[in-house]
Structure 1
Amino acid sequence: MNDLQIIFWNSRSLSNKLFEFKKYIYTRKPHIVCIQESWLNDEYLPSFINYRGYFKNRVGRAGGILILARNDLITEDINLQIFRNGKLEIQGIKIKIYTDYLNIINLYNPNQIVSQAEFKFYLEQVGNKGLILGDFNAHHQLWNRKIHHACISGQNLVNALAYIPLQLLTTESMPTYIDNRTGNSSTLDLCFVTPNIFSKAAIELGEDCGSDHCPIHVQIEIQTTIMKMKTRRKWKFDKDLWNQYQDSLIPIPEEDLNINDMNNFVTESLFNAAESTFGRTKDEITFKYNNSWWTPDCERATRERKRLKAILRRSPTPENAAMMRAAENEAKEIIKQVKKDKWKNYINEINSTSPVGQVWKKINKINSNFKPQNSPLSVGNNLITNNLEKVTIFSEYFENVFQIQDTMSYQLKTQIDIELQTAYLQVQDEYNCNYSLTEIQNTLSNLKNTAPGIDEIHNSMIKQLPDTYIEYLLKLFNNVWNHGLVPNSWKIALLIPIYKFGKPERLPESYRPISLLPCIGKLFERMVGSRLYW
């Protein structure tokens, strides 16, 4: 059983600490991350590898909250009721756990006096199974015995809890916040859970990430529903093994075969030869959490800041506070300079000779055009996560959208077929004759390495065929040309749903299909197309 891992943190400007925090979560890979005081706006929303973001930005300066959910989880936004004229910033998601859901509510109090009614209003929305966490900005002896008097918000929160069966998970006097001016600590970041998960939950302080608040780690012994992230397997071609590939091909049959059998022979021979020669990638998606931008200078500077902040916690003196602030400023300047250098190097990789695909890939990264990897589909009130069920939904949707009603009468069809056959028999122009070896060789020389169809035959495998196989392919193509019959497998396309950026990702209509036909059939199609330009 994989325990549910949650991190929540008041970042006090995420952009300024993005480099360091990305390294922090990419190393730990928590399921859920809740952030308060993100200070983000809609013009720039950072992207995170293998995480989807639920952003709720405040209009104006400061504030803002967000939730990051790992892509292999089934999560859904909770449409929380909003307290009229309230002070709190709040959002929530629910996460699928086995046969049930767990509600997670992310809260931030922007240092305002919050009424008992508002606290109670949101605590009630945690539901039967869930937790509410964040920066409450509330002082009370219940979670911090060091203070002598509770603030108004703290007392209102405790009064509201008297009506709601929630339990405090935050341990007594946990120093979640440290004042960088004095070194004094407070317990401002709290986590409340429903009784049915309290005994399964644990909480601890995380490492300093540059804010005046510490990240808080919550671990819950609960079985989450993990979606399997699958992808299409790819051939791992090696230029030094092409001779071995050619030697593994089955000899050309001497007997005459029909068009379907000829095509099946070529397809099976190429596939088996490639499988015995080259490896293939796994069908499971593994994400590369890139931390290459984190330099030794960044590591040294942040380590020194953490060391001095730990000293400040133990001994809050003006001298220690000054030393910690100096180390903090130095770390900020070093990370800022590294970001500038990395950005400059990234941009300089694009020049007038860069391939168009590489340029667009970099532009999409700059624009943070994140494309979901594995979203469940919403049908009615049900979330579909099973891959086979999603295939059925997509196929039915695409079939309905692209279905063309045939309004042509049977008599007209018959007449057209007769006229075409008559015209073909009467015309003996050069473009109707058999294809030559030169034509197939010229087409192969211009063939690009596009994605293969459902038969997994890649254009590289065709271009590396020996002469005997090229001649056999030519024989197949001429049989197709002369008899007007196409192999059945050429008519079967592999449909890949491509997400339309900005659309609701759980609706089938938010995807457009790309059809991948067998490369052998596409090769013949190119040869036919070339003749049209004679």
Structure 2
Amino acid sequence: MANRFQKIFAQWLVPFLLIPLMTRSSFLQWNCRGLLSNLDDINALLDRHDTTCACLQETYLNERTGNPFRRYNVFRKDRADTTHASGGVAIITKKSIPSKPVSLATDLEAVAVEVCLDKVITVCSIYLPPSVVVEQRQFENLCNQLPPPFLLLGDLNAHSTFWGSTKVDHRGKMLERVLLTSSICLLNTGSPTYVNCATQTFSSIDLSFCSPCLYQDVDWKVDENPHGSDHFPVILKLGRNVNSLGTRPPRWKQLQADWSTFEKEANLASLSFEGMDVEQINSVVTDTIINAAVRSIPQTSGRLPRRPKPWWTAACETTRKEQNRAWGIFRRYPTSANLIVFKKARAKARWTQRQAKRESWRNFVSSLNNNAPSKVVWDRLRKIKGDYSAFCMPLLQVNGSLCQGLKEQANTLGEHFQNVSSSSHYSQDFLKVKGIAEKQNLIGHDSDHHTYNMLFNMTELLRALASTKLTAPGPDRITYSMLQHLSKDSLESLLHFFNTVWKEGRLPCRWKVATVIPLLKPGKDSSIPTSYRPIALTSCLGKTFERMVNNRLTHFLEENKCLSRYQCGFQMGRSTVDHLIRLETTIREAFLRR
């Protein structure tokens, strides 16, 4: 039982966690000079590069500022020893990527996070102000606290010919010694990362370091536009795959289904089950229904939508192009006049975008009235907010060690669920009784005359289908709606299949396989496997047959008064409330008889 559960879990949970989004990881590094003031530019960069993780410096945030990102987690360290917003570092990670903060014992402005790609890597965002003295031991102490492999990204305000500067300062010499005496690699290629608007000069003060094992896997590139800052964004492409949870399994759009076409295509009556066992019949029935569904029911792509911008207008596009053009001219010819033109173009682009947002919101609000359906209102709100639901799997720990990769996390959960459902938890006396009971043949030679052993009829099948709810399908992707829209002749064939299973007393193997979804228990630590409970999505064909059997046995037990009148579990119209009321009544009657 335990081994079979582990096999089933490994077969179906792992593909659920590893929906096929196997792409290179994209990291963003940027001194944004104000996160909130440049929020639109940050969102645009995140979307354009499909960023897995972003390291931001000089965020200018304080403790009253919440998370301005709906699709990203934010880990940050704000500057607390100042009366006005300044400094600060932050790391933002996709909610669909498991991540966990790393505790750092340092006085430096730094924050670190572990993110789970194909392996767990550590990402650190750091900002070293030019006026602060940083000793070599402080920087080395920070690096030693980062679990390898790591990326250390930030604005270090250091000059050295090692990374493209024309001069060398004290901090640059200190970092040179660190590079020469430790196993840390520099990723900079010499491209400038900072523009001094006062002197119209360029320099390289934003640095990227990594562990040696990552050096060959990282492509380092500077963006051509500083946007709303005087630092250029740096894009790092990591050759490791992103095992992201950022895609959804394709779903049937049943509201747009052509059920008449489906009924014709899913013609089970034309199939011949002669000489087939239950496994073969189940495969034929499943393939026929799914092929009919593919021809008559549209499906979702499974890809998560890009962040929508319903407010983006032609004027926004025009002013953005003018800003980029002005920056290109200034970069080639860095003069004061060209700098002024660029700043004017940037201000105009920002003003145009803000006006477009306000106008879009006014139009949306004015379109709402008492007759607007609530669904339309909420759909429009979601489009404006750019919301979508994404399953967020945190990093799991086993005996203090992090699980490396999503596949290992799935196996860890599978082992936990296997252990919970294992027969090893039963007492020896119960195991003996269980073993004897399982060896008994439930259907005897003289039991055919019992009503509960008779073949099923169409009334029982229709009753079972009528009592179903629109729940998620199992691994075979067959839904209850598909079964309900089968023709009468096809239902007769389906009933014949169910009766074959009933007579042989053997279930198809595919009915025993489930897509297992781990759900976090309320108030539990998300990093511990024991904090999750499984939800198993099994075949709707199997659940329909199960409902038919259950209805028949329940009727027999109730008709022959085999159930105790005090039993409320698995009884229609009864629940634990009945027992609570009965207990309360007994207590009150006892008080009255005192």
TM-score by length of 2: 0.64
Match of 1:36 among 25, 45, 57: 57
Question: How does 1:78-477 map onto structure 2 within 5 Å?
Answer: 78-80=102-104, 82-83=105-106, 86=107, 88-93=108-113, 104-110=123-129, 112-117=131-136, 118-122=138-142, 131-138=151-158, 154-159=169-174, 161-165=176-180, 169-170=187-188, 174-179=192-197, 185-192=202-209, 202-218=220-236, 223-227=239-243, 232=249, 234=251, 238-239=257-258, 241-247=261-267, 250-251=270-271, 261=278, 265=281, 268-275=284-291, 278=294, 286-293=303-310, 294-313=312-331, 314-317=333-336, 319-340=337-358, 353-354=373-374, 362=382, 371-372=391-392, 377-380=396-399, 381=401, 383-385=403-405, 387=407, 390-401=409-420, 437=458, 440-441=461-462, 444=465, 447-473=468-494
Contact 1:176–1:185 (8 Å) recurs in 2 = yes
Identity %: 24
Alpha-carbon deviations, 1:261-305, whole Å to 9, x = none? 4x9736632433423662699999644434544443322222222
Q: Residues 323 and 510 from structure 1, CA distance in 2 versus in 1: closer, same or farther, beyond 3 angstroms?
A: farther
Alpha-carbon deviations, 1:180-206, whole Å to 9, x = none? x77565543233456787787654343
Name the CA distance, whole Å, in 2 between partners of 1:276 and 1:172.
Answer: 59
Name the CA distance, whole Å, in 2 between partners of 1:2 and 1:516.
Answer: 28
Q: Residues 251 and 170 from structure 1, CA distance in 2 versus in 1: closer, same or farther, beyond 3 angstroms?
A: closer
Contact 1:74–1:227 (8 Å) recurs in 2 = no
Unaligned runs of 5+ in 2: 1-21, 441-446, 556-571, 574-594
Q: Residues 202 and 250 from structure 1, CA distance in 2 versus in 1: closer, same or farther, beyond 3 angstroms?
A: same
In the TM superposition, residue 516 of structure 1 has moved relative to its aligned partner by 1.9
Contact 1:497–1:514 (8 Å) recurs in 2 = yes
Q: Residues 175 and 63 from structure 1, CA distance in 2 versus in 1: closer, same or farther, beyond 3 angstroms?
A: closer
Alpha-carbon deviations, 1:364-394, whole Å to 9, x = none? 9788875326x6644343524364x555432
| Secondary structure at 2:519 match in 1 | strand
Name the CA distance, whole Å, in 1 between partners of 2:369 and 2:79.
Answer: 35
Equivalent residue, structure 1, for 2:90 = 66
Name the CA distance, whole Å, in 1 between partners of 2:58 and 2:412.
Answer: 40
Q: Residues 476 and 341 from structure 1, CA distance in 2 versus in 1: closer, same or farther, beyond 3 angstroms?
A: farther
Which range is displaced more, 11-20 or 337-346?
Answer: 337-346
Alpha-carbon deviations, 1:246-272, whole Å to 9, x = none? 3365446589x9xx94x9736632433
Name the CA distance, whole Å, in 2 between partners of 1:310 and 1:178.
Answer: 16
In the TM superposition, residue 215 of structure 1 has moved relative to its aligned partner by 0.7
Contact 1:246–1:464 (8 Å) recurs in 2 = no
Unaligned runs of 5+ in 1: 418-423
Name the CA distance, whole Å, in 2 between partners of 1:501 and 1:224.
Answer: 34
In the TM superposition, residue 136 of structure 1 has moved relative to its aligned partner by 2.0
Contact 2:269–2:490 (8 Å) recurs in 1 = no
| Secondary structure at 1:465 match in 2 | coil
* Equivalenced residues, count: 498
Contact 1:304–1:327 (8 Å) recurs in 2 = yes
Alpha-carbon deviations, 1:5-45, whole Å to 9, x = none? 54311122333433333333322335543222334568632
**Letter aligned with residue 44 of structure 1:** G
Alpha-carbon deviations, 1:132-163, whole Å to 9, x = none? 3311234678767667xx7xxx5245235324
**Letter aligned with residue 334 of structure 2:** S
Contact 1:89–1:107 (8 Å) recurs in 2 = yes
**Letter aligned with residue 275 of structure 1:** N
Name the CA distance, whole Å, in 1 between partners of 2:349 and 2:316.
Answer: 7
Question: How does 1:4-15 map onto structure 2 within 5 Å?
Answer: 5-15=26-36
Name the CA distance, whole Å, in 2 between partners of 1:486 and 1:363.
Answer: 49
In the TM superposition, residue 403 of structure 1 has moved relative to its aligned partner by 6.7
Contact 1:42–1:57 (8 Å) recurs in 2 = no
Name the CA distance, whole Å, in 2 between partners of 1:226 and 1:25.
Answer: 15
Equivalent residue, structure 2, for 1:420 = none
Which range is displaced more, 28-37 or 243-252?
Answer: 243-252
Name the CA distance, whole Å, in 2 between partners of 1:291 and 1:438.
Answer: 49
Name the CA distance, whole Å, in 2 between partners of 1:501 and 1:65.
Answer: 31
| Secondary structure at 1:278 match in 2 | helix
Alpha-carbon deviations, 1:294-334, whole Å to 9, x = none? 443322222222333344443332x5444433333322232
